[in-house]
């Protein structure tokens, strides 16, 4: 069956992800091959000190994204979209969407970006003996309780953005286990919310006499491949107001962007992981066993099929390096040396590989904003050197590449060195890996493990959730076997082993970097 015939027969598969700045839809076939895509740009708003998106913006954005996809399909294939073999929706994780018994939103959506739940996160981490970050949904609920917010007594259901969208399209209050693991800790033996911790939370708030307990207001947790409902007539009209989309399409469990990133990079197996590096950076490693103690620097989440994952998330990655490249671009223009930005980036990235393994003693802190992993609530970008350090262009660029991953390495080293977590391979994706072989080599040095970059990594989370939707109707095997045998069987990628000299050099850089954090503290205090 050709692509057009596949689409006309309603056998294509749709995945949609609501990211922080873009909503993207990807249409694939049963082998995961992208057929078309659509998108919609959007931005969060700061309303009364809360980062939020309105529910109107959610639906107008989804409708525009879907309309864009329909127009592209019409132009590319000369046919219209009326149905799919399956669908899936994912979104940025965490945050807080709370509804009353009449399905009314109680307070504006509080996104992952808010840092207003410090007291709650600290108390819950202590109570559970489990790291509860500020951005997790349970931190938002408990902070609202600590604040005495009147809406809490009326909570009948709370969920994430993906869970909300899925609910409105299917009527089902469910959530994929990966996304659920950013709401509340998961018991990996049962694949649902940890009931010991649920009981501790209920006891903690018992004196408030709310008319609900935590299990009453949680979504039901599902693993990849499980039935999550079908598109209702109302849901079809909500997504496609033109009325062409037909109801009855099966949906996979809604997921978070961490889970779809794991799928998109084929890193759901134990001893694998991925690094997503762009404006911010995070790395995830699928663990063989639980960590021995609580680390504030390490979040524990799960894969879409419920395996435990250690995640280190850092706020800063390439912004400072990009700023310096812009300065070089300005200089080139000033002397009449016109060069396009891509060529400039590629040239400077490759130049970094000529630098000393330890950057010649140069260090920098790329902290455009605070960096919790290294203990900063605010940041100030900073470049530091001694007079006798080797200040060359190659060392300068290499230093920025190291700095982009330095805070991440500090967190990952807790897993690798303190917990002896083993990793056989990491998969890289994001702008940091765009210049072939450069970011990949630096990342391999940072983690002292092979780093692979797959051709499909650029497809992103919308493709990842489309693959999970395909797994829903194809699965007769584990998610790992499905990805290896069906989706990634013919995928080309490049694998790069860690170079011993690079590893030793990065370690020397890190020693100086960590010892110099006092300089960054001074810069933040003074500036």
3-state secondary structure string, 213-280? Answer: CHHHHCCEEECCCCCCCECCHHHHHHHCCCCCCCCCCEECCCEEHHHHHHHHCCCCCCCEEEEEECCC
Residue 454: pLDDT band by 50, 70, 90 thresholds? confident
Chain segment 439-449, per-residue pLDDT in tens: 999 999 999 99
pLDDT at residue 404, as a whole number: 97
Candidates 143, 47, 156, 26; CA nearest to 94 is 143
Query: How far is it, in rounded angstroms, from Cα 195 to Cα 193?
Result: 6
Query: How far is it, in rounded angstroms, from Cα 513 to Cα 402?
Result: 10
DSSP 8-state symbol, 131: -
pTM comes to 0.88
460-476 core/surface letters (b: 16 or more CB in 10 A; e: else): bbbbbbbbbbbbbebbe
pLDDT at residue 377, as a whole number: 83
CA-CA-CA-CA torsion for 427, 430, 436, 442, nearest 10 degrees?
A: -70
What count of other Cβ atoms lies within 10 Å of the Cβ of residue 443? Answer: 29
The ranges assigned to domains in the chain are: 266-455+494-527
Name the CATH superfamily for 266-455+494-527: ATPase, nucleotide binding domain (3.30.420.40)
User: Average pLDDT for residues 358-376, to the nearest whole number?
Assistant: 93
Query: How far is it, in rounded angstroms, from Cα 214 to Cα 100?
Result: 14
Token pair for 100: 């009353």
Mean pLDDT of the chain: 95
Chain segment 28-66, per-residue pLDDT in tens: 999 999 999 999 999 999 999 999 999 999 999 999 999
**Most confident region among 300-304, 313-317, 372-376 by mean pLDDT:** 300-304
Chain segment 89-145, per-residue pLDDT in tens: 999 999 999 999 999 999 999 998 888 999 999 999 999 999 999 999 999 999 999
The dihedrals phi and psi of 245, each to the nearest 5 degrees, come to -75, 130
pLDDT at residue 482, as a whole number: 96
Please report which helix (H) or strand (E) contains residue 299, including its range.
Answer: strand 299-302
pLDDT of 504 > 60? The answer is yes
Token pair for 377: 């609530």
pLDDT of 456 > 70? The answer is no
Token pair for 339: 């060069």
Please report which helix (H) or strand (E) contains residue 25, including its range.
Answer: strand 22-28
pLDDT of 154 > 80? The answer is yes
Residue 280: pLDDT band by 50, 70, 90 thresholds? confident
Candidates 222, 309, 296, 186; CA nearest to 258 is 309
Query: How far is it, in rounded angstroms, from Cα 387 to Cα 68?
Result: 56
Residue 458: pLDDT band by 50, 70, 90 thresholds? low
Query: How far is it, in rounded angstroms, from Cα 200 to Cα 203?
Result: 5
pLDDT at residue 220, as a whole number: 98
User: Average pLDDT for residues 473-481, to the nearest whole number?
Assistant: 91
pLDDT at residue 285, as a whole number: 96
Contacts of 54 (CB under 8 A, 6+ apart): 45, 108, 109
Token pair for 148: 């005495």
pLDDT at residue 475, as a whole number: 73
Bridge partner residues of 40 (DSSP):
23
């Amino acid at each position: 069956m050709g692509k057009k015939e596949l689409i006309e027969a309603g056998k294509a598969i749709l995945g949609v992800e609501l990211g922080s700045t873009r909503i993207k839809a990807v249409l694939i076939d049963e082998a995961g091959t992208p057929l078309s895509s659509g998108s919609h740009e959007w931005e969060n708003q700061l309303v009364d000190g809360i980062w939020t998106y309105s529910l109107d913006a959610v639906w107008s954005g989804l409708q525009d994204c879907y309309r864009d996809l329909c127009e592209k399909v019409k132009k590319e294939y000369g046919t219209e979209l009326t149905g799919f073999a399956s669908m899936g929706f994912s979104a940025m994780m965490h945050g807080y969407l709370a509804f009353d018994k009449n399905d009314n939103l109680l307070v504006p959506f509080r996104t992952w970006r808010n840092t207003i739940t410090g007291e709650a996160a600290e108390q819950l981490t202590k109570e559970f003996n489990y790291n509860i970050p500020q951005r997790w949904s349970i931190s938002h609920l408990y902070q609202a309780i600590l604040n005495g917010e009147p809406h809490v007594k009326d909570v009948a259901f709370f969920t994430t953005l993906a869970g909300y969208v899925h609910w409105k399209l299917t009527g089902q209050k469910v959530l994929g286990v990966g996304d659920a693991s950013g709401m509340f800790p998961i018991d990996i033996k049962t694949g649902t919310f940890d009931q010991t911790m649920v009981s501790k939370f209920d006891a903690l708030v018992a004196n408030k006499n709310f008319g609900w307990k935590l299990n009453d207001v949680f979504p039901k947790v599902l693993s990849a491949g499980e039935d999550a409902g079908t598109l209702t007539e109302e849901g079809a009209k909500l997504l496609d107001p033109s009325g062409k989309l037909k109801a009855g399409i099966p949906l996979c469990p809604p997921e978070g962007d961490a889970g779809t990133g794991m799928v998109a990079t084929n890193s759901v197996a134990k001893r694998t992981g991925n690094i997503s590096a762009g404006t911010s950076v995070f790395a995830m490693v699928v663990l063989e066993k639980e960590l021995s103690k609580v680390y504030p620097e390490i979040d524990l989440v799960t894969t879409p099929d419920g395996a435990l994952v250690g995640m280190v998330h850092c706020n800063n990655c390439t912004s400072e390096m990009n700023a310096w490249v812009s300065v070089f671009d300005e200089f080139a223009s000033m002397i009449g040396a016109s060069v396009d930005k891509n060529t400039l980036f590629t040239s400077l990235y490759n130049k970094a590989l000529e630098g000393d393994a330890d950057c010649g003693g140069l260090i920098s802190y790329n902290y455009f904003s605070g960096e919790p992993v290294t203990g900063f609530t605010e940041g100030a970008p900073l470049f530091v050197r001694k007079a006798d350090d080797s200040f060359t262009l190659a060392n300068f660029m290499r230093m920025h590449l190291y700095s982009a991953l330095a805070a991440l390495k500090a967190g990952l080293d807790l897993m690798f060195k303190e917990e002896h977590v083993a990793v056989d391979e990491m998969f890289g994706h994001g702008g940091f890996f765009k210049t072939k072989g450069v970011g990949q080599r630096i990342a391999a040095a940072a983690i002292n493990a092979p780093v692979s970059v797959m051709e499909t990594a650029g497809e992103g989370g919308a493709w990842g959730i489309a693959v999970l939707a395909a797994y829903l109707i194809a699965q007769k095997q584990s998610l790992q076997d499905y990805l290896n045998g069906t989706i990634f069987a013919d995928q080309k990628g490049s694998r790069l082993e860690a170079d011993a000299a690079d590893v030793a050099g990065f370690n020397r850089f890190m020693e100086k970097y960590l010892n110099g954090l006092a300089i960054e503290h001074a810069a933040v205090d003074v500036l």
